[in-house]
């Protein structure tokens, strides 16, 4: 439990500038962080670094046909 | 006289061939040249305001802002009027340029090297690159989704940083705003207007 909390604090400290930048340039900071967290999790579950395997192409194809 | 005729003939032929030749640009070359332009714009000899102006100019020439706008709006696009679509396009362009350039303007002299490319289909090629690490920050992997429907004018549609897609993040952000306002697109418009100010 303590380790988890400490790793959270450590993550925030290491990424302070990136998080500040994200907060300043987001119109919904909470939704941005949630999206980034879920994408990261999805990538870890897929256990793959190959971009072509983790990105969803169907959303992109959809805009061609509308 | 004969020589003159020959020269005119050659000139005409060269021009004709030149006009009809199509120049397709390879996506990886396009990314490298865009990155080089952006690096120049981020040179510390410019003030922050100058950097932002230069980045906006580069983005408006190399990014498919309308395409990203449609992707970001997702399924909501089907339910709104033409008038609202026009208003959205206008607001999104200003929002995108402001958000993109102020995000980037904080970096100075980034060094990006294009590593490889992978053609996904006729419309898309993924170009992989590395933001070279420095003492202050580690190496960062950046992938570029390049829209290649017109091979003579490739355009950037997404940046994927360490596997995290900026376009997808933006799409989920927009969708969250619309959802929490009972599906009212005008709520998104007013937030965008506020951001652009």
Q: Residue B133 domain-assigned?
A: yes
Record: contact A66-B157, CB cut-off 8 A: no
B169 in any annotated domain:
yes
Q: Are B65 and B59 in contact (CB under 8 A)?
A: yes
How far apart (Å, rounded) are the C-alpha atoms in residues B28 and B112?
Answer: 12
CB-based contact, B94 to chain A, within 8 Å: no
Q: What pLDDT, in 10s, does the model give residues B127-136?
A: 999 999 888 7
Quote the number of domains for chain B. 1
Report yes or no on B8 lying in a domain.
no
Taking the Cβ of residue B123 and every Cβ of chain A, the question of whether any pair is shorter than 8 Å is answered with: yes
Residue B132 lies in a domain: yes
CA distance B175 to B31: 29
Question: Is residue A19 a contact partner of residue A12, using CB atoms and an 8 Å limit?
Answer: yes
Q: Does A57 reach chain B within 8 Å, measured CB to CB? A: yes
- Domain residues for the domain of B173 are 25-196
Beta strands in chain B (DSSP E): 112-119, 124-131, 140-147, 155-161, 164-165
Spatial separation of the C-alpha atoms in residues A6 and A18, rounded to whole Å: 19
A53 has a pLDDT exceeding 90: no
The confidence score (pLDDT) of residue B156 equals: 96
**Cα–Cα separations (whole angstroms), residue B185 to B73, B78, B194, B196:** 10, 12, 15, 17
pTM of the model: 0.82
Tell me, yes or no, whether B15 lies in a domain: no
Nearest CB partner across the interface for B164, out of A31, A40, A60 = A40
CATH number for B93: 3.10.450.710
Give the integer Cα–Cα distance in Å for B71 and B167: 8
Whether ipTM > 0.95 holds is no
Rounded CA separation A19/A22 (Å): 5
Q: A30-39, B3-12, B54-63: which range is least confident on average?
A: B3-12
Cross-strand bridge partners of residue B113: B130
Is residue B93 domain-resident? Answer: yes
What's the whole-number mean pLDDT along residues B69-79? 91
Residue B115 falls inside a structural domain: yes
> Whole-angstrom Cα distance, residue B72 to residue B169?
9
Report how many Cβ contacts below 8 Å link chain A to chain B. Answer: 79
B18 assigned to some structural domain:
no
Domain boundaries, chain A: 2-65
| A52/B contact by beta carbon, under 8 A | yes
| Least confident window among A16-25, B96-105, B114-123 | A16-25
């Amino acid at each position: 439990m303590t380790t988890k909390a400490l790793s959270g604090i450590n993550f925030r400290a290491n990424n302070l500038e990136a998080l500040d930048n994200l907060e300043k340039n987001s119109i919904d900071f909470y939704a941005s962080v949630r999206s980034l967290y879920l994408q990261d999790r999805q990538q870890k579950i897929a256990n793959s670094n190959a971009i072509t395997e983790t990105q969803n192409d169907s959303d992109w194809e959809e805009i061609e046909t509308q | 006289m004969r020589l003159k005729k020959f020269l005119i003939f050659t000139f005409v032929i060269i021009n004709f061939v030149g006009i009809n030749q199509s120049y397709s640009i390879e996506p990886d070359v396009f990314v490298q040249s865009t990155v080089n332009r952006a690096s120049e714009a981020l040179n510390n000899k410019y003030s922050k305001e100058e950097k932002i102006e230069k980045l906006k100019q580069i983005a408006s020439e190399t990014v498919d802002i309308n395409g990203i706008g449609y992707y970001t709006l997702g399924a909501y696009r089907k339910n709104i009027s033409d008038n609202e679509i026009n208003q959205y396009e206008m607001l999104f362009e200003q929002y995108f340029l402001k958000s993109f350039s102020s995000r980037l303007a904080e970096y100075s002299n980034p060094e990006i090297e294009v590593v490889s490319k992978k053609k996904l289909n006729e419309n898309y090629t993924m170009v992989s690159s590395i933001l070279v690490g420095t003492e202050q920050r580690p190496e960062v992997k950046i992938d570029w989704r390049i829209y290649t429907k017109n091979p003579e004018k490739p355009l950037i549609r997404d940046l994927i940083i360490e596997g995290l897609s900026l376009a997808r993040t933006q799409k989920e952000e927009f969708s969250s705003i619309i959802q929490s306002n009972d599906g009212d697109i005008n709520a998104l418009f007013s937030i965008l207007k506020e951001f652009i100010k």
